[in-house]
Amino acid sequence: MPLNPKLESEKPVLDHGYVRLLDVMGDDSSPDSDARISTGVAARSEDAQTTLVRFLLRHKHTTPFEGSVLKFEIRAPIMVIREWHRHRTFSYNEESGRYKQLDPLYYTPTPERVAYQAKSNHQGSGEQHPDAERFIREWSEEQQEFEAGYTELIQTHNVARELARLNMPVSHYSTFVATGNLLNWFRFLQLRMDQNAQYEIRMYANAIRELAKQYFPRSFEAFNDYWLEAVSLSKREADLLRQMLGAAISSDNFTKAQPAPGPSFTKRESEEFRQKLIRMGLLSEQ
Ligand SMILES: Cc1cc2nc3c(=O)[nH]c(=O)nc-3n(C[C@H](O)[C@H](O)[C@H](O)COP(=O)(O)OP(=O)(O)OC[C@H]3O[C@@H](n4cnc5c(N)ncnc54)[C@H](O)[C@@H]3O)c2cc1C
């Protein structure tokens, strides 16, 4: 389907990267209409569509989100692509260092990004390193040195491109195309927008979300409410919460706190919330 020229289709990411939306199949009403094949009853209103889409994501009825597809072209450092390709449900095509000499583009982080190893998180970064500027200079010199050798092997000595890249650093940029349905993208975003994901891939995930949600605002709002910003508690955590809160919530207080029912918080959702509180022992059954 042609892209809407009034909407944004590309975002720069990091120093030389980007995400570019190439194609979209479906629109914001597609998950609703795909789901309604079950009953054969067409949506009566925008509100009815919103209610159904929110219900589906809330209850992880995910197949109606598989009928809408987004294709992106992405330029990213190889280290980001390596993480990205762990998401096996996308279809990928990547430029090949066997067929062409790759463009001389390398990622160098900003000084604020260059941090000490985090103390508590083995995968993460901690406070900014005081020697960040020097490290960036040195990384950049190494990249230039590699680039000069790579070019010489290919252009002066006619070494096969597939071997000339032998020492290519993971900071080197490469370009690939990723095609996935809305559910694939939700799963990817859930993991890669999280604070635990590496900063670099997080920046790409944020950009993907901004571009994709323009075409599926209703689904993305539901994704945000029920997946991205939702909190799930383990049994132990729920037990601790109950202990800390002490007295149970009164039925009166529960009723008073409920917002007026509407498509973004239906009577049914309010009842589901009541059942959760009962299960957690925070509200009595009557
Ligand atoms: C913060 C973070 C740290 C990570 N650290 C590491 C690490 O140190 N080492 C490492 O190797 N990986 C690491 N990963 C990658 C991670 O283990 C997953 O491979 C990656 O996040 C893709 O997730 P996925 O398998 O859910 O996605 P996809 O491959 O897109 O799969 C989507 C869903 O499809 C289903 N599925 C797909 N394939 C199968 C299958 N073969 N069998 C059963 N179900 C399947 C699953 O339900 C899965 O959730 C990390 C990821 C994150 C977000």
pLDDT for 20-73, tens place per residue? 999 999 999 999 989 888 887 776 788 989 999 999 999 999 999 999 999 999
Pocket mutation for ligand 1, best pick of 88, 121, 193 (most atoms within 8 Å of C-beta) = 88
- Residue 162: CB atoms within 10 A of its CB come to 11
CA torsion sign, 243 to 247 to 252 to 256?
negative
Q: How confident is the model at residue 116 (pLDDT cuts 50, 70, 90)?
A: confident
In this structure, the residues whose C-beta lies within 6 A of any atom of ligand 1 are 86-89, 187, 191, 196-197
* For the chain, percent of residues with pLDDT exceeding 70: 99
Q: What is the pTM of this model?
A: 0.91
Nearest residue CA, atom 4 of ligand 1? 197
Token reading at 23: 């194609």
What's the Cα-to-Cα distance from 189 to each of 182, 212, 241, rounded to whole Å? 10, 11, 29
The mean per-residue pLDDT over the stretch 166-180 comes to 97
pLDDT of the residue at 194: 94
Nearest CA to ligand 1 atom 12: 86
Go through the domains of the chain in sequence order and give each one's CATH number: 10-96+171-228 (3.30.1360.170), 111-164 (no CATH), 235-279 (no CATH)
- Assess whether pLDDT exceeds 70 at residue 251: yes
Residues 186-197, mean pLDDT to the nearest whole number: 96
How close is the Cα of 188 to the center of ligand 1, in Å?
9
Q: Greatest CA separation found in the chain?
A: 83
